[in-house]
Chain A
Amino acid sequence: MTLTPHNEADAAYVIRNAAAGGTTLAIVGGNTRSGFGNAFACHDTLSSSGLTGIVDYEPAEMVMTAKAGTPVAEIEAALSANRQMMAFEPMDHRGIMGTTGEPTIGGVFAANASGPRRFVAGAARDSLLGIRFVNGKGEIVRAGGRVMKNVTGLDLVKLLAGSQGTLGFLIEVTFRVLPVPQTVETIVISGLDDAVATQAMAVAMAMPVEVSGAAHLPQTVRGRFLSGRLPDGEATVLRLEGLEASVSVRAEKLTAAMAVFGEVSRFGAEDSRHLWQQIRDVAPYAGTPQKPLWRVSVAPSAGHQLVAALRLEAGIDAFFDWQGGLVWMRMEADPEAELLRRYIKALGGGHATLLRAPEQARAVTPAFQPQADAVAALSARVKQKLDPAGIFNPGKMAGA
């Protein structure tokens, strides 16, 4: 059965009842990220789709409050009418997850879904200022607020962001937005192997030019971007955004510095917007739902080493965002979870999340990187404090 409360009080009532009766609830927004996490089964589905609408939006204050079930498209339309945006570039998972439907703003924050700008501008969790949610006891809890600086009490906002619907049912979110940059440009360096590309990106990030996107697209994926119009060879791409006057100056500087690494070309605003959206949404790996897909977060200098090591032992394809620290990795056959996670550990730590895999593989692979025992125990205690009866998405995250 799908429960679709239309106001907070109903949501709280439904959850109180579920807790009392030990009914487990699968929490969904637009269901576009529903394949996340470990496979789990629930008695009922609890949908945020009845809780919609922008509650408050003050463009001058750059803060928006919306009900959790509000479609992202509606939010983005309201923002772009005022030339504003969510700085963390929420990615759209429909392509790679093979899902349909409309992503919701609650789902964005519950999944902490961020895009290429994340490594400089922060993740969804960094833009989230305040929330209202129903905990597992059916109580309506408010955390944070609507101001940018707030250290009043424990930061439950961060805790709920990225908790994948296992700690509470988000009903309202308040988040910070930013002006859309006047212009954007992309510098492409061609023909670098993964290791040299990582070096080049590190050099760019050490320059005072405020690069806001740094990705490396190896040969196997290069052709899948901008309808194949990126120049031949591997493409290392760097994004600059801001006022026209300053972007052009910075682009000159960056071009000069990158010329020592390889052939440099430049792409203007329209191509850039398109390109970074494709990177954000992992365009090369969309539409192949049967092949396992990993999202790996490691230190930027470790990404290419990880890929190099794995290539010797498994059939993989990969590309890099976040200066090399975010690796999108598609496996030819088996997810190779143990191998992958062993290498991540050996290379200094990080985590790999299995976003999709055939059902059989999913059933035996922990979707989120298993954590150290003490951290896992702590997380389980935290879960217990928010959802004592364990009714929200049980088993979706390890120990939760």
Chain B
Amino acid sequence: MEAIKFLEPRASVVARRSAIIADLVDLLPRECVVHEARELVPFETDAFVSYRRLPLAVVLPTTTEQVAAVMKYCNRYGIPVVARGAGTSLSGGAIPQEDAVVVGLSKMTRILEVDPANRTATVQAGVTNLSISDAVSPEGFFYAPDPSSQLACTIGGNIGMNSGGAHCLKYGVTTNNLLGVRMVLVDGTVIDLGGKHLDSAGYDLLGLVCGSEGQLGLVTEATVRLIAKPEGARPVLFGFDSSDAAGACVADIIGSGIIPVAIEFMDKPAIEICEAFAHAGYPLDVAALLIVEVEGSEAEMEAMLKEIVAIAGRHGVRTVRESQSATEAALIWKGRKSAFGATGRIADYICMDGTVPLGKLSYVLEKTSEIVERYGLRVANVFHAGDGNMHPLILFNANDPEDAARAEEAGNEILKLCVEAGGCLTGEHGVGIEKRDLMRHQYSDVDLNQQMAVRAAFDSEWLLNPSKVFPLEGRPAA
């Protein structure tokens, strides 16, 4: 298996490195420019750690004007730019390249406005996901999309990836909760899209920008929709004898008219790994486990849970654990929330992110096991079942290059399987470099060319995060 390629660095840019750094230092306050080799190391990769590239330089602006000045400069000299939030991308979306200036938004952390009457918050791009909810909590609101990385990841990165989370079943992903952005275009022009109002006067450029992985411009501010905090939330845990039964139960719950906030799925290996780590009291004699969470007042939650338990009963549920207290509720979630950490303790893993139609869940799970077994590896499945977003964790040994290559190949096969089952390559982690070369499995040349043409309306010279998303071969000439 060949390593994923990056674009060849532009020799003319690399050769001018010192001049470029000198110019950037002129352009920005001294402390905003990072260029010593040692200081650049933290920026060489993101959470897709198997690949790394040292950037030319890193700038950490504090204002939209500074971002615009850098962008204008880079555009003038044909220097690629890679936007970076917290660098938690799982698909390599924030990995730089040798000829690129990384624009890190991590210093832009101001909450600009909380507007309870209009249920909006306007924040700078480097504000972390969780701190939005923290800031609006005293007013009784929260910001709904909740990636598990929410303590670290930024709203700019969330917009870059159109991130989701466990609670998106009810409230939607980033794009459904984003009302407006201020962004800097490749030539340094600053534009505002959207605002506190709904919908666009013209084309839905906001919808296009969300999930564009830093390829259409740099977001410096965002206005997001807030939602009233529910009175309470309560999970219930179900154990089933087969993934089939669990999958069918998911479909029935969704179809019943109850909209739980979350339906999380774990298979046997995942249950064992999490239980060994978190001691959450998960049943070890079941093949699959669901955590279903509902929200509302006591009376409402009781009514919904009663119905959900009845549905599970019709699917031969073996274990039902309801939570009578906050402690018990926390315990049910503890295992699920520690899934990635717990897995990381027993092996290296890569996390896939394909989405499949609900009816295909158990088929894809079965095939996934077959694929991974064929490569002599192990897999644990823990994912957002309510929307079919699978996260097989393929376990391998990173010190063994062959093992790592096998894991990557097995992962690719699983993603192709998701596409063949009517789904897609990535539900929330983005294409980045990781899935870039698989794009032709999901899209025809015509489809991809149309996307690239639209991309060119924003960045005709391919300066913005250019090694990502679109296969390197077959790109239109600039």
Residues of A within 8 A of B (CB): 58-63, 83, 112, 114, 118-119, 122-123, 125-126, 135, 139-143, 145-159, 161-163, 167, 178-182, 199, 202, 205-210, 243, 245-246, 249-250, 253, 297-302, 322, 325-326, 348-351, 353, 368-372, 374-376, 378-379, 381-386, 397-400
A135 CA to B299 CA, complexed, in Å: 52
A246's closest neighbor in chain B, by CB? B300
- Asked if B239 is at the interface of the complex by the 8 Å CB criterion, the answer is no
Give, as a whole number of angstroms, the nearest-CB distance from A110 to chain B: 12
State which of B388, B439, B450 has its C-beta within 8 Å of the C-beta of A152: B439
User: Quick check: A152 and B435 within 8 Å, CB to CB?
Assistant: yes
**Contact flags (1/0) for B142-169 with A, using CB distance below 8 Å?**
0000000000000000000110100010
A153 CA to B215 CA, complexed, in Å: 11
A60 CA to B250 CA, complexed, in Å: 10
A248's closest neighbor in chain B, by CB? B299
| A-B contacts, 16 listed (Cβ < 8 Å) | A60-B255, A60-B359, A123-B199, A150-B424, A155-B210, A159-B205, A161-B207, A162-B199, A208-B140, A208-B228, A253-B297, A350-B195, A368-B202, A370-B201, A385-B450, A397-B203
A47 CA to B437 CA, complexed, in Å: 38
User: Quick check: B202 and A371 within 8 Å, CB to CB?
Assistant: yes
What B residues does A374 contact at CB under 8 A?
A: 185, 189-191
User: Quick check: A384 and B457 within 8 Å, CB to CB?
Assistant: yes
User: Quick check: A61 and B357 within 8 Å, CB to CB?
Assistant: yes
Identify which of B206, B296, B384 gathers the most chain A CB atoms within 10 Å of its CB.
B296
User: Quick check: A385 and B453 within 8 Å, CB to CB?
Assistant: yes
A399's closest neighbor in chain B, by CB? B202
What B residues does A371 contact at CB under 8 A?
A: 201-202
User: Quick check: B251 and A61 within 8 Å, CB to CB?
Assistant: yes
State which of B196, B199, B304, B384 has its C-beta within 8 Å of the C-beta of A349: B196
Give, as a whole number of angstroms, the nearest-CB distance from B99 to chain A: 24
Give, as a whole number of angstroms, the nearest-CB distance from B54 to chain A: 28
User: Quick check: A382 and B200 within 8 Å, CB to CB?
Assistant: no
Given A149-B164, A202-B116, A207-B228, 20 further pairs, Cβ under 8 A: A125-B204, A126-B176, A143-B451, A145-B424, A147-B427, A152-B426, A153-B443, A159-B203, A159-B207, A167-B203, A180-B257, A182-B257, A208-B229, A209-B228, A243-B303, A302-B197, A325-B198, A378-B205, A378-B457, A379-B203
Give, as a whole number of angstroms, the nearest-CB distance from B145 to chain A: 11
User: Quick check: A123 and B297 within 8 Å, CB to CB?
Assistant: no
What B residues does A300 contact at CB under 8 A?
A: 117-119, 196
User: Quick check: B450 and A349 within 8 Å, CB to CB?
Assistant: no
State which of B118, B206, B255, B258 has its C-beta within 8 Å of the C-beta of A243: B258
User: Quick check: A149 and B117 within 8 Å, CB to CB?
Assistant: no
State which of B119, B207, B307 has its C-beta within 8 Å of the C-beta of A155: B207
What A residues does B387 contact at CB under 8 A?
A: 147-149
A384 CA to B206 CA, complexed, in Å: 18
A297 CA to B197 CA, complexed, in Å: 6
**Contact flags (1/0) for B8-22 with A, using CB distance below 8 Å?**
000000000000000
What A residues does B204 contact at CB under 8 A?
A: 112, 125, 158-159, 161-163
Give, as a whole number of angstroms, the nearest-CB distance from A90 to chain B: 14
**Interface residue ranges of B99-146 to A (CB < 8 Å):** 115-120, 139-141
Give, as a whole number of angstroms, the nearest-CB distance from A303 to chain B: 9
A206 CA to B426 CA, complexed, in Å: 34
On whether A381 and B228 interact (CB within 8 A), knowing A147-B355, A147-B423, the answer reads: no
User: Quick check: A156 and B454 within 8 Å, CB to CB?
Assistant: yes
State which of B119, B175, B299 has its C-beta within 8 Å of the C-beta of A206: B119
User: Quick check: B172 and A126 within 8 Å, CB to CB?
Assistant: yes
A351 CA to B140 CA, complexed, in Å: 29
User: Quick check: A83 and B117 within 8 Å, CB to CB?
Assistant: no
User: Quick check: A61 and B202 within 8 Å, CB to CB?
Assistant: no
State which of A125, A140, A150, A159 has its C-beta within 8 Å of the C-beta of B427: A150
What A residues does B447 contact at CB under 8 A?
A: 141-143
Interface size on B, residues (CB 8 A): 97
- Asked if B325 is at the interface of the complex by the 8 Å CB criterion, the answer is no
Give, as a whole number of angstroms, the nearest-CB distance from A267 to chain B: 21
A374 CA to B184 CA, complexed, in Å: 11
What B residues does A58 contact at CB under 8 A?
A: 357, 359
Residues of B within 8 A of A (CB): 115-120, 139-141, 161-162, 164, 168, 172-173, 175-176, 185, 189-193, 195-208, 210-212, 215, 228-231, 251-252, 254-259, 296-297, 299-300, 303-304, 307, 355-359, 384, 387-389, 422-431, 435, 439, 442-444, 446-448, 450-451, 453-458, 469-470
User: Quick check: B201 and A353 within 8 Å, CB to CB?
Assistant: yes
A108 CA to B470 CA, complexed, in Å: 31
What B residues does A145 contact at CB under 8 A?
A: 422-424, 442
Identify which of B196, B254, B469 gathers the most chain A CB atoms within 10 Å of its CB.
B196
A323 CA to B197 CA, complexed, in Å: 11
A126 CA to B299 CA, complexed, in Å: 31
User: Quick check: A179 and B255 within 8 Å, CB to CB?
Assistant: yes
What B residues does A153 contact at CB under 8 A?
A: 431, 439, 442-443, 448, 451, 469-470
A325 CA to B196 CA, complexed, in Å: 9
What B residues does A146 contact at CB under 8 A?
A: 357, 422
User: Quick check: B257 and A206 within 8 Å, CB to CB?
Assistant: no
A245 CA to B294 CA, complexed, in Å: 14
What A residues does B168 contact at CB under 8 A?
A: 149
What A residues does B230 contact at CB under 8 A?
A: 208
State which of B175, B195, B431, B450 has its C-beta within 8 Å of the C-beta of A386: B450
On whether A208 and B231 interact (CB within 8 A), knowing A299-B197, A385-B456, the answer reads: yes
7 shortest interchain CB distances as A-B pairs: A158-B207, A351-B201, A149-B427, A299-B196, A179-B257, A245-B303, A246-B300
User: Quick check: B303 and A246 within 8 Å, CB to CB?
Assistant: yes
Give, as a whole number of angstroms, the nearest-CB distance from A64 to chain B: 12
Give, as a whole number of angstroms, the nearest-CB distance from A138 to chain B: 11
What B residues does A397 contact at CB under 8 A?
A: 202-203
Give, as a whole number of angstroms, the nearest-CB distance from B201 to chain A: 4
State which of A62, A119, A376 has its C-beta within 8 Å of the C-beta of B198: A119
On whether A154 and B228 interact (CB within 8 A), knowing A159-B203, A297-B198, the answer reads: no
What B residues does A61 contact at CB under 8 A?
A: 251, 357-359
User: Quick check: A348 and B359 within 8 Å, CB to CB?
Assistant: no
State which of A125, A369, A375 has its C-beta within 8 Å of the C-beta of B191: A375
What A residues does B456 contact at CB under 8 A?
A: 385
User: Quick check: B140 and A206 within 8 Å, CB to CB?
Assistant: yes
Give, as a whole number of angstroms, the nearest-CB distance from B436 to chain A: 10
User: Quick check: B195 and A349 within 8 Å, CB to CB?
Assistant: yes
A206 CA to B443 CA, complexed, in Å: 42
A182 CA to B251 CA, complexed, in Å: 18
Identify which of A114, A141, A167, A253 gathers the most chain B CB atoms within 10 Å of its CB.
A141
User: Quick check: B197 and A206 within 8 Å, CB to CB?
Assistant: no
A139's closest neighbor in chain B, by CB? B446
User: Quick check: A378 and B191 within 8 Å, CB to CB?
Assistant: yes
What B residues does A154 contact at CB under 8 A?
A: 208, 211-212, 215, 451, 454-455, 469
User: Quick check: B201 and A386 within 8 Å, CB to CB?
Assistant: no
State which of B162, B299, B384 has its C-beta within 8 Å of the C-beta of A249: B299
A206 CA to B231 CA, complexed, in Å: 12
Give, as a whole number of angstroms, the nearest-CB distance from A97 to chain B: 18
